[in-house]
A and B are shown apart, each in its own frame.
Chain A
Amino acid sequence: MIEATPSVPLGARSSVSVRDLTIAYGDLEILKEMNLDVRTGEFLVLLGPSGCGKSTLLNAIAGLNDIRSGQICIGDVDVTYAEPSKRGIGMVFQSYALYPRMTVEQNMSFGLRMTSTPKAEIGARVAEAARILQLEPLLKRRPGELSGGQRQRVAIGRALVKKAGVFLFDEPLSNLDAKLRSELRVELKRLHQDLDSTMIYVTHDQIEAMTLGDRVAVMKDGIIQQLGTPHEIYHRPANRFIASFIGTPGMNFIDGRVEIGPDGACFRSAAMDVPLAGYEPVGPLRQGAAVLGIRPEHLQPMSEDRDGPAMSVTLVEAMGPETIVHGRIGENALALRVPGEFEGGRGDILHLSLATTKINLFDTASGLRL
């Protein structure tokens, strides 16, 4: 071990900053000159499809990956080449990664025992973490005797007892069934509110990302596509990939062109024409090919028989509180989210109204927001 390794003091809430980080195996670049700032006390979610580099980034912050170039700071300390244990972090893994031969208590205290913390303090901290996570009755059990949800709580407890300045979560809920997942999601959110710790959370589940994150970084191909609040990500996606990745069903896209006329800008396509007066473009709009994006809930059937674009219904999915209606206008497949029940079925013709303030415009070639 190198003597001069900097170490981050435990117990301090820390910010995390990643500068020009490149991680590559041979010629394969997993992360490309990544920059990311996580604020102190923030819950940041790294969201993306598998293989996008989100876990690699998390492992790099934890010090578990070799990095090619760049810098990682936790708090004010440059930890780029520091041992994982010197970074003041706690980490929770998808497979729980509990030590199978140790009891819950031993699992939680292992990190403290490795740093030769006084016995009395270890006991106090384990008791505290067990109280917060309601693990007190399970302290003497082995991981094999616990349910999935209990195991993951122990794994969280392991990070908790260390008073980690930064919590790193690597898809912690992915191994749990749907009901438990939503319960633990709420628990995690509450934990973050209580502790006010910095948390970085990797997931491919957009519901976890939207509900947990103060901010969400959407990643693809080793690049952060957009970093923003869940609201921004959802309502003002930076490109078509994000627009289609976030939301179930994803955003509807209609190919057409932007035309600048005497009455202002207008989107024209075979399916529908939409005035762009209410749209806030990133830069000045220019005439040319474009893609219109609209969320399923911002397309609604009109109650009266007016001459909106006509969609023929192909499929109806009843979800209980809402119904997803799939249909087509010419070449374009569309989905609408209709509150409550939908009376109608395949072959019906619906005339649509569109919330013109909620639309998105993307460049046809680059997919970037206009």
Chain B
Amino acid sequence: MDRRASAMQIDRKPIPLGRPRLVSPGRIGLYIFAFASMLFFLLPFWVMLVTSLKPMDEIRLGNLLAWPDNLTFQPWIAAWSSACTGLVCDGIRGGFVNSVLITVPAVIISVLFGAINGYAISTWKPRGADLLFGGLVLGAFIPYQVFVYPMTRVLANFGLFGSLGGLIGIHVVFGLPLTTMLFRNFYAGMPPELFKAARVDGAGFWKMFVYVMLPMSMPILVVALVLQVTGIWNDYLLGLIFGGSSYAPMTLQLNNIVNTVEGERNYNIDMAATIITALVPLLVYFLSGKLLVRGVTAGAVKG
């Protein structure tokens, strides 16, 4: 019944009474495999990190994995504020601001509307809800490149092409099938008697949503937020097409920095800019950690 209670039960697995005394060969193999996997996944990041902290002279020597002899943060500062994207040379910070301006409203709107949609479809079962949901599921699996041309025409007709609002709207529209599906499935797994009780208690559509459903939605809310934040932050194509020149997101700026070459390629600045761009989704994953896992498995451990 209570999510917290069920989570506590998960944590309360039988505690092993002391480690096994003899380390079995299987266990050694397991550790070797785990360690190798870790190296495999961390190696590119390590290269990026050390490269971004080296001056170019040192990079030219080719010691890809070595810790910098002359540690410098200059590439980071340059990447943030003075690297050139095409003709403009004020770093990636403009893209950061754009990405925040795009991501925050787009995430809030798509998650909130997804929650309301999912709640309406699963709880109130309006006529045609199944058809609507079927359409949404279909929408979630159609590659959005298919919609690029028609959407361009639609936005142009409304005079929204190249505007911040237009780009946010696009992200919301493309995010809704997924968020609606997440919330619909989450709410469909709740006992229907809960809604009945709330109706007998006099809670209408909105009161039931705000007082009964939302407080229970924490796990799925985290999942939806993480998916939407990373999805929209990492988007390149939609930003390229619909962002116009003034609202190019960070991913686009990064690409421009990396591809703007005058003479020597500044690997250290490229790496720093890349890490800065990846920082937001990385942080989101780290911070959501356990909550995310709990949300993903929420369907499996109904309390």
Residues on A lying within 8 angstroms of B by beta carbon are 1, 59, 62-64, 83-85, 89-91, 93-102, 110-111, 114-115, 142-145, 151, 155, 158, 162, 170
Contact = CB atoms under 8 A, between A and B. Distances in A.
Nearest to B194: A97
25 contacts: A62-B196, A63-B199, A84-B199, A84-B202, A85-B202, A85-B203, A89-B200, A95-B193, A97-B196, A98-B197, A99-B197, A99-B212, A100-B1, A100-B2, A100-B216, A101-B215, A102-B215, A111-B200, A111-B202, A114-B202, A142-B4, A143-B2, A144-B5, A144-B303, A145-B5
Interface string B175-216: 000000000000000010110111111111001000110011
Contact of A142 (B2, B197, B202, B207): B2
Nearest to A109: B201
Contacts, number: 83
Contacts of A97: 191, 193-194, 196-197
A90 B197 CA distance: 9
B217 to A, nearest CB: 10
B196 A93 contact: yes
Interface of B: 1-6, 191, 193-194, 196-204, 207, 211-212, 215-216, 303
Task: Give the interface SS of chain B, mostly helix, strand, loop or mixed.
Answer: helix
B200 A84 contact: yes
Closest 7 pairs (CB-CB, A-B): A144-B2, A85-B202, A144-B5, A111-B201, A101-B215, A114-B202, A97-B193
A95 B190 CA distance: 11
A63 B203 CA distance: 14
Contacts of B197: 91, 93, 97-99, 155, 158
Given A110-B201, A114-B203, A93 B211 contact: no
B207 A114 contact: yes
A110 B211 contact: yes
A88 to B, nearest CB: 11
A93 B202 contact: no
Contacts of A59: 196
B12 to A, nearest CB: 14
A85 B201 contact: yes
Given A85-B199, A98-B1, A144-B2, 16 more contacts: A64-B200, A84-B196, A91-B196, A91-B197, A91-B200, A95-B193, A97-B196, A100-B2, A100-B3, A101-B2, A101-B215, A111-B201, A114-B202, A144-B5, A145-B5, A162-B201
Q: Which of A84, A102, A145, A170 has the most CB of B within 10 A?
A: A84
A65 B215 CA distance: 26
Nearest to B2: A144
B204 A95 contact: no
Contacts of B207: 114
Contacts of B200: 62, 64, 84-85, 89-91, 111
A170 B2 CA distance: 22
Nearest to B197: A97
A322 to B, nearest CB: 38
A161 to B, nearest CB: 10
Given A84-B199, A85-B201, A101-B216, A94 B193 contact: yes
Contacts of B203: 85, 110, 114
Nearest to B208: A114
Contacts of B4: 142, 144
A59 B199 CA distance: 12
A83 B194 CA distance: 16
